Amino acid sequence: MDRFPSRRASIRLISFFAALSLVLGIVAFENYRSAHYAGQQLENTYQRSLEDLTGYVNGLSATLQKAGYAGTAPQLANLSAKLWRESGAAKTALSSLPLGDAHLENLSRFLSQVGDYSMYLTKKMSQGETLSGEERQNLARMEEACLTLAQQLGELERQVTQEGLSVRDLESSLGQNDVALADSAGIMDGFSEMETSFDGMPTLIYDGPFSDHILERTPRLTEKAPLFTQQSALQRAALCAGVMEDQLKFMGDESSNMACFQFSTEEGITMGITKQGGYLAYLSNPRQVGEEALSIDATIKRGRSYLERLGYTSLVSTYYELADGICTINYAFSQNDITYYTDLIKVGVALDNGQVVFCDARGYITNHTDRKLPEPFIAQEEAQKSVNSTLQVRSVSLSCIPTTGLNEVYTYEFKTEAPDGQTVLVYINAQTGAEEQILLLLENENGTLTI
């Protein structure tokens, strides 16, 4: 019996493998082309964020210069509103880059203080006071810092556009070898230079949420918590990211008032675990989100379940926002029917599969502590007399809201409806009856937000 295939069979076999090789080659080429296209799209997005950041910082510089010359409260109010918008937009652009603001604390703090400090000055002038020489000097120093920052960003843009540096390399270098890190060294060096340039900025102490005396406060939740080892933090990080421990790489220590161990995966997931208590401080997963498949209610439940697994309990969802296939939900601590808006955690849930792709618990860690609030001194009926009579009260609850400084206020939260249908939240001090705050509740297809 002939053990070898016939000539015809051999030809057929060769033809089959040739066809298979061709098909596999085509598939490989198409996959490469798709990956290259997706990578280029992501790079373009990052470059636009860098351009936006540069533009907003240039705008801040010009507006700060005008604010330094403002002589009336209305004019300063207009400029402050612009500074507030531009600084917020700059922070959004910064957060869109594959850096993580945990590595750029000075820069992030500066952008927050620009808008916040100008609002503080506006409030002061509206009360009939004048700006001191030191306060005008602070505006001038902020302007100089913005000029320096704009120049640094401009040079970084030039390197990206003219020298071929890739912003995406910053993301791909996380957890990679020295070669990948070297590819992103130029851009990382640029941001490191920006970060250190703020070391000489004056300390700003004022009545605002981004005052240095607040930003440097020791977090309440971790103040007396036991120290975690790096290995214990690694185990917690694996739980937070939903990966095996060997998929995580230790990226270094974050030395701040909320000291953290930093970890990352090859896919670019980054997170910080507090050294005291082992709490998840923040997590970011930059993956592309697919077609939306989950309802808002389902994502809110997914987010709460995720936090409960990490030890964050007694939370209620307050407001949410939809953007780029992600539902970002605000969860506030609730106890004895009192909602503590001071103890807030933001969670981003992907609408394609319910994965948590973003979490920021730093506000909760900073503010959460055991409280024993007394019964309201002012009765609900008495407090409601401070609500504008044109507003129709729809519901009432108790809440604890943050002030612009270090404190918090125990209030009645009146959810009301204006004659034009606008939902208005009015907060009346439960101890004094004073009207503490008014917020507008915006409800549309993109979520529910307050302004």
Q: What is the pLDDT of residues 22-65, one digit of tens each?
A: 666 665 655 555 544 445 565 677 778 788 888 888 888 888 88
Q: Which among 52, 135, 129, 125 has a CA at the least distance from the CA of 87?
A: 52
CA atoms within 13 A on the CB side of 27: 6
Greatest alpha-carbon pair distance for the chain in Å reads 110
pLDDT band of residue 278 (cuts 50, 70, 90) is: very high
Mean pLDDT, all residues of the chain: 81
**242: pLDDT strictly greater than 90:** yes
What is the pairing mode between strands 260-264 and 249-254? antiparallel
Task: Collect all residues with Cβ–Cβ distance below 8 Å to 47 and sequence separation of at least 6.
Answer: 160, 161, 167
pLDDT top residue among 424 and 123 = 424
The mean pLDDT of 353-380, rounded to a whole number, is: 91
Which of 62-66, 173-177, 319-323, 366-370 has the largest mean confidence? 366-370
pLDDT top residue among 170 and 95 = 95
pLDDT at 150: 86
Which pTM value belongs to this model?
A: 0.59
pLDDT at 397: 97
pLDDT top residue among 421 and 107 = 421
pLDDT at 101: 43
pLDDT at 146: 87
List, for residues 144-202, the tens digit of each pLDDT value.
888 888 888 888 788 777 666 665 555 544 344 444 444 455 555 666 666 766 655 65
Percent of the chain's residues with pLDDT above 70: 76
Percent of the chain's residues with pLDDT above 90: 37
275: left (phi over 0), alpha (psi -120 to 50) or beta: alpha
**230: pLDDT strictly greater than 90:** yes
pLDDT band of residue 142 (cuts 50, 70, 90) is: confident
Look at 83-87, 220-224, 328-332, 417-421 and tell me which has the smallest mean pLDDT: 83-87
Look at 105-114, 159-168, 379-388 and tell me which has the smallest mean pLDDT: 159-168
Residue recorded with tokens 């990352």: 264
Q: Which among 368, 109, 361, 332 has a CA at the least distance from the CA of 219?
A: 368
pLDDT at 301: 96
User: Where are the extended beta strands (E) located within 1-61?
Assistant: none
Residue-level length of the chain: 451
pLDDT at 75: 81
Phi, psi of 371 (to 5 degrees): -125, 150
Look at 132-136, 247-251, 269-273 and tell me which has the smallest mean pLDDT: 132-136
pLDDT at 376: 94
Look at 249-258, 325-334, 420-429 and tell me which has the smallest mean pLDDT: 249-258
**215: pLDDT strictly greater than 90:** no
pLDDT top residue among 108 and 229 = 229
**18: pLDDT strictly greater than 70:** no
pLDDT at 182: 46
Task: Collect all residues with Cβ–Cβ distance below 8 Å to 81 and sequence separation of at least 6.
Answer: none
**324: pLDDT strictly greater than 60:** yes
Look at 95-109, 185-199, 319-333 and tell me which has the smallest mean pLDDT: 185-199
pLDDT at 297: 94
pLDDT at 433: 93
Could you tell me how many helices (H) and strands (E) the chain has, helices first? 12, 13
pLDDT top residue among 410 and 146 = 410
Asked if 390 contacts 373 with a C-beta cutoff of 8 angstroms, the reply is no
Q: How far apart are CA 335 and CA 415, in angstroms?
A: 19
Q: What tokens does 107 get? A: 């820069």
CA geometry: angle at 160 spanning 155 and 164, to 5°? 135
Which of 2-11, 112-121, 343-352 has the largest mean confidence? 343-352
Neighbouring-strand partners of residue 254: 260
Q: Which amino acid is at 244?
A: M
**347: pLDDT strictly greater than 90:** yes
Look at 84-88, 207-211, 280-284, 403-407 and tell me which has the smallest mean pLDDT: 207-211
